[in-house]
Amino acid sequence: LPKDLNGKELAKKIKEELQENITSFTHAFRVTPKLAIVAVGEDLSANVYIKSKQSACKKVGIDSVVFRFPETASLEQIKEHLHELNADKSVHGIILELPLPAHILYDEAVSSIDPAKDVDGLHPVNLGLLFSGKPLFIPSTPRAVIRLIEEYKVPVEGKDVVIVGRSLAVGKPLYTLLLGKNATVTTCHTKTTNLKSHTRRADVIIAAVGKPGVIKADMVKPGAVVIDVGINVTESGLVGDVSYDEVYPVAGLITPVPGGVGPLTVAMILENTLRAAEINVNNFNHHRRLYGVKGSESG
Ligand SMILES: NC(=O)c1ccc[n+]([C@@H]2O[C@H](COP(=O)([O-])OP(=O)(O)OC[C@H]3O[C@@H](n4cnc5c(N)ncnc54)[C@H](OP(=O)(O)O)[C@@H]3O)[C@@H](O)[C@H]2O)c1
């Protein structure tokens, strides 16, 4: 039996379905879903990521536009631009690309995005909705992990799931999503003493660290499912956080890097953009009114 959790294949299937749904949507409402990507400064790997998002958008029938600001742009400038995008009826989804220069305070900037257009799901309102169990947009990477778990019918109910990493974009949303699936969830981080004692008893390990080789063979219970979110650029190419070659024989199922969570994350952004367009045509303006978003269509 193949042991790989093939994210690339699943992403392809999702994108094919999505393309059909977008065609019907565009036909029914005479509206083409549109994603706006805002990037500040020049970051090489972010640029690669932006390009892959744009080409994926094009393939499924989503319009995309990138707004680039110089490193020296002010927080006020970025916030103003986000308010303009909130008010722009042709734009359905907005992404504020990371990394940002230090003076562009992420919390403040992301809070300027209309929650109904926040396809990354990182606006405090969307995180709050997620943690209250009524999400509007689920952040793409955690959602990609859940889709992989569902596709491969990985049992999580009543199981020990150990997440390594507690970022707002990955580890924390995963924690609440897996609790929702009745897993017993442990979240580890840099202050965790004896990481191995946790991972070793896990039925499912999810690594979202950003360092190669954090998960080694002796840290994995034989037969455990290992999901690697990490993307690290090394001299030998792109690798995850898991020492794939040595963990492979021990694991029950494992994600390759590349070809695991990465391609699925992009597919989830596309899905969220269609959802944003649907919300828009269904005139869910109450979200905007409720949260007093500046520059909203409803004033
Ligand atoms: N596949 C995809 O599509 C996708 C999408 C997003 C991100 N990523 C990748 O996923 C990785 C994580 O991303 P992120 O945004 O969550 O990163 P992040 O914000 O840097 O968070 C990393 C987390 O890992 C923890 N950590 C670091 N070193 C550790 C160690 N030795 N032992 C245990 N915990 C440790 C940190 O703990 P503290 O909180 O204590 O600092 C932190 O919570 C990166 O490689 C990123 O490139 C992939």
Quote the CA–CA distance of 10 and 230 in Å, as a whole number. Answer: 18
Going by alpha carbons, the residue nearest to atom 19 of ligand 1 is 167
Paired tokens of 297: 């269509």
Tell me the β-bridge partners of 4: 254
The position carrying tokens 């005139």 is 283
Q: What is the pLDDT of residues 222-257, one digit of tens each?
A: 999 999 999 998 998 999 999 999 999 999 999 999
pLDDT, residue 227, reads 98
DSSP H or E run through 161:
strand 160-164
Q: Which atom in ligand 1 lies closest to the alpha carbon of residue 189? A: 34
* pLDDT band with cut points at 50, 70 and 90 for residue 134: very high
The CA distance from 119 to 122, in Å, is 8
Cα 54 to the chain's mean position, in Å?
16
Our CA angle for 130, 178, 121, nearest 5°, is: 30
Strand partners, 9: none
Backbone angles phi, psi at 166, to 5 degrees: -135, 35
Distance (angstroms) between ligand 1 centre and the Cα of 152 equals 24
Rg from Cα positions in the chain:
19
Q: Are 148 and 7 in contact (CB under 8 A)?
A: yes
Ligand 1 centroid vs 292 CA: distance in angstroms?
33
E strands, 19-111, are 34-40, 63-69, 93-96
Nearest to 87 by CA among 298, 297, 299: 297
260 lines ligand 1 (CB under 6 A): no
Maximum pairwise Cα distance, the chain: 58
CB 167 within 8 A of CB 198: no
Question: Does residue 284 surpass a pLDDT of 60?
Answer: no
| Over residues 35-55, mean pLDDT | 91
CA of 203 to the centre of ligand 1 (A): 20
Closest CA to 88 of 61, 67, 109: 67
| DSSP type of residue 219 | G
- Is the CB of residue 91 less than 8 Å from the CB of residue 117? yes
Q: Whose CA is nearest to atom 25 of ligand 1?
A: 165
Task: Establish whether residue 208 lines the binding site of ligand 1, counting it when its CB lies within 6 angstroms of any ligand atom.
Answer: yes
Percent of the chain residues past pLDDT 70, beyond the cut: 94
Q: Is the pLDDT of residue 40 over 90?
A: yes
- At residue 39, the 3 state secondary structure works out as strand
Query: Could you write out the DSSP letters of every residue in 225-284?
Result: EEEE---EEETTEEE-SB-HHHHTTT-SEE--SSSSHHHHHHHHHHHHHHHHHHHHHTT-
Q: Side-chain half-sphere of 251: how many Cα atoms within 13 Å?
A: 28
Q: What is the pLDDT of residue 291?
A: 45
Ligand 1 atom closest to residue 144's alpha carbon, by position in its atom list: 3
Please identify, by atom number, the ligand 1 atom nearest to the C-alpha of residue 257: 1
Q: Which of 98, 189, 199, 216 to mutate to test the pocket of ligand 1 (most atoms within 8 A of CB)?
A: 189
- What band does 290 get if pLDDT is binned at 50, 70 and 90? very low
pTM: 0.93
pLDDT at residue 42, rounded to an integer: 86
For residue range 77-112, what is the model confidence (pLDDT) as tens digits?
999 999 999 999 999 999 999 989 999 999 999 999
Q: Whose CA is nearest to atom 31 of ligand 1?
A: 190
The distance of Cα 36 from the centroid of its chain, to the nearest Å, equals 16
Backbone angles phi, psi at 245, to 5 degrees: -60, -40
